[in-house]
Amino acid sequence: MSLKTEAIVVGAGIAGVMTALSLLRKGASVTLIDRWEPGHPRASSSDYNRIFRSIHGKDEFYTKWVREARLRWMELQEEMGVKLHHECGALVLAGEGHTDWEDATISTFEKLGVPHFKISTDEIRVRFPQFSTEKVAWGLYEPEAGMVMSHLAVVQTAQLFEREGGKIKRGRVMCDEAERLMLDGKPLEADVIVVCTGPWLGEMYRRTVRPISKVVRQNIIYTSTPDSDPTFDAYTMPCWIDHGYGAYGIPSVNGHGVKAAIAWTDTIIDLDEDERVVDKATFNRTRQYLRHRLPGLVGQRAVDQKACQIAMTPDTHFILDFHPEHENVLLSGGCSGHLFKHGPVYGEFSAGVALGEWGTADRFKITDRSSLSTGDSPSGR
Ligand SMILES: Cc1cc2nc3c(=O)[nH]c(=O)nc-3n(C[C@H](O)[C@H](O)[C@H](O)COP(=O)(O)OP(=O)(O)OC[C@H]3O[C@@H](n4cnc5c(N)ncnc54)[C@H](O)[C@@H]3O)c2cc1C
């Protein structure tokens, strides 16, 4: 492709802003279109932060991507002059009787040289006294894990993209019956169009994407840290994944409070109609979980909440492939609850595929997909 490639990116979540910036830096002329302002709270990339971890079971591909992304986030935050990446570590609490995913992760880490510690429950209680270790077999601690400030990262990347000459436009791109892209009643045309509409991808492409993308609601509660007590702040406490409970969380950073979520994968969401408010049942269940796992937070008040959604593919691999009938339209996304951390690497890879510099990976192709066992799954789901 020549330097004058006209590219359009639809969707300004993390996949879209990173792809747009990479296309621009590869010499294309780029317009980024979204229905709302970059950073808006309906997107899957909304919320203050996302866990950053190399922990991906036996999957070497994503593990390597995260190791590369760690350096890219550090470079980006240096360039932007904004703290986006906090290396406060991540602790996986391996549940008694089912440690396949954690065992597989340790083998991958040993093979690839990823720093980690396998720690006993006694060591967890000494090193991270915030956690009760009931029903925990042992812990896997990754010191170079942590979090990325997601909202800030999207907004800052969109601003960097504009500063470097990219155009941002507000609008709703639609698909007609033949899955051709339309904007304001006219065909959307460019040399290449990358569609990064996250959970909306399946709604737009009912025939092509919907069969491999299910959207599920995910509710988050933020709980206040105790008065005058930094025990639950980042760097004192790590991010955690409580596999046995399908729960995870992030210590308080920038005063947001301790974040906790329990993955209820069967809960659906109407992307355009539902209020983004957490329901009482989730609230109670999360509180019950915190009482059990982080007893030091008993009595603390909820201070914030986020209702969001995850687009899940059956095998939890992302989607990055050209539309089977429209050869200049690249479909990009497939979140599966773990795309954010890869942001800068994902964007560069996606831009390279869009410009024909390299092909996509087999795992990202739009084909029939089936679910994987916990031991094989990159996300452990
Ligand atoms: C609760 C939760 C927790 C998560 N935890 C983690 C984690 O710890 N670590 C991690 O790495 N990842 C995590 N993820 C996954 C990660 O956040 C997502 O994979 C990622 O943000 C998806 O980004 P996206 O750009 O594909 O989609 P989105 O951020 O949803 O962006 C899509 C954009 O497309 C726009 N759009 C939609 N339709 C149209 C249209 N027709 N025309 C124009 N614009 C349109 C939307 O307005 C939106 O801005 C989590 C996700 C959720 C929801």
Q: Assess whether 230 and 132 both reside in one domain.
A: yes
Look at the block and give the residue holding tokens 């560069």: 348
Domain presence at residue 25? yes
Ligand 1 atom with minimal separation from the 172 CA: 42
Same domain, 265 and 277: yes
φ/ψ (deg, to 5) at 351: -65, -40
* Six token digits for residue 154: 């999207």
**Of ligand 1's atoms, which has the minimum distance to the CA of residue 250?**
8
Predicted confidence at residue 265, as pLDDT, reads 61
**Using an 8 Å Cβ cutoff, are 55 and 108 in contact?**
no
Reported as half-sphere exposure (CB side, CA atoms, 13 A), residue 345 has a value of 18
283: CATH = 3.30.9.10
Q: In this structure, are 171 and 320 located in the same domain?
A: yes
Interval between CA 100 and ligand 1 midpoint (Å): 28
Note the residue count of the chain: 381
**16 plus 157 within the same structural domain:** yes
Quote the number of domains for the chain. Answer: 2
Contact (CB, 8 A) for 22 and 354 = no
Q: How far is CA 340 from each of CA 26, 141, 184, 310, rounded to the nearest angstrom?
A: 22, 20, 30, 11
- 93 within some domain: yes
Residues with CB under 6 A from ligand 1: 10-16, 33-36, 43-45, 50-51, 172-173, 196-200, 204, 218, 220, 261, 308-310, 333, 335, 337-341
Nearest to 194 by CA among 79, 323, 376, 92: 323
- Are both 102 and 218 inside the same structural domain? yes
Residue 132 lies in a domain: yes
Q: Residue 279 is encoded by which pair of tokens?
A: 């329901």
Quote the tokens at residue 282.
């989730």
Residues 349 and 239 in one domain: no
The whole-number pLDDT of residue 375 equals 73
Q: Confirm whether 202 is domain-assigned.
A: yes
- Closest residue by Cα to atom 39, ligand 1, is 197
Spatial separation of the C-alpha atoms in residues 31 and 47, rounded to whole Å: 25
Whether the pLDDT of residue 2 is over 60: the answer is: no
Find the 14 Cα to ligand 1 centroid distance in Å: 7
Give the atom of ligand 1 at the shortest distance from the alpha carbon of 154: 29
* 51 falls within a domain: no
- Which pLDDT tens digit goes with each residue over 112-158? 999 999 999 999 999 999 999 999 999 999 999 999 999 999 999 99
Domain co-membership, 126 together with 230: yes
Q: 0.75 exceeded by the pTM?
A: yes
Token readout for 313 is: 């593919």
> Residue 264's pLDDT is what?
65
pLDDT, average across residues 16-30: 98
Same-domain status, 168 and 100: no
Q: Which atom of ligand 1 is nearest to the CA of 310?
A: 53
Pocket test for ligand 1, best of 340, 342, 364 (most atoms within 8 A of CB): 340
Q: Which atom of ligand 1 is nearest to the CA of 239?
A: 8
Q: Is residue 371 part of a domain?
A: no
* Residue 328 in domain: yes
β-strands 181-183, 85-86 pairing: unpaired
Nearest residue by C-alpha to atom 43 in ligand 1: 34
Token pair of 290 as six digits: 């915190």
CATH number at residue 177: 3.50.50.60
- Give the residue, out of 8, 21, 42, 45, with the most ligand 1 atoms within 8 A of its beta carbon, to mutate for a pocket test: 45
Query: What separation in Å is there between the alpha carbon of 85 and the centre of ligand 1?
Result: 18
Confidence of residue 15 (pLDDT cuts 50, 70, 90): very high
Q: Does residue 237 sit in the same domain as residue 225?
A: yes
Q: Is residue 253 in a domain?
A: yes
Inter-residue contact 262 to 285 (CB < 8 Å): yes
Which residues have a Cβ under 8 Å from the Cβ of 117 and sit 6 or more positions away?
140, 141, 143
Measured distance CA(213)–CA(287) in Å, rounded:
30
- Kindly give the number of the ligand 1 atom that is closest to the alpha carbon of 16: 25
Distance CA 58, CA 375 (A): 7
* C-alpha distances in Å from residue 269, one per residue of 222, 311, 369: 21, 11, 23
Ligand 1 center from residue 13 Cα (angstroms): 5
Atom from ligand 1 closest to the CA of residue 51: 8
In this model, does residue 104 exceed pLDDT 80? yes
Instruction: Give the distance (Å) from ligand 1 centre to CA of residue 295.
Output: 32
Residues 165 and 308 in one domain: no
Distance of CA 87 to the CA centre of its chain: 17
Residue 3: predicted pLDDT: 59
Among 335, 350, 379, 381, name the best residue to mutate to test ligand 1's pocket (greatest count of ligand atoms within 8 A of Cβ): 335
Q: Which residues pair with 223 in a beta bridge?
A: 258, 302
- Tell me if 260 sits within 8 A of 297, measured CB to CB: no
Task: Convert the pLDDT of each residue in 216-267 to its tens digit.
Answer: 999 999 999 999 999 999 999 999 999 888 999 999 999 999 999 987 666 7
Residues 243 and 98 in one domain: yes
Tell me which residue range forms the domain holding 247: 89-145+214-312
Residues 158 and 307 in one domain: no
In the listed set 294, 312, 330, which residue is the last one of a domain according to the structure?
312
292 pLDDT higher than 90: yes
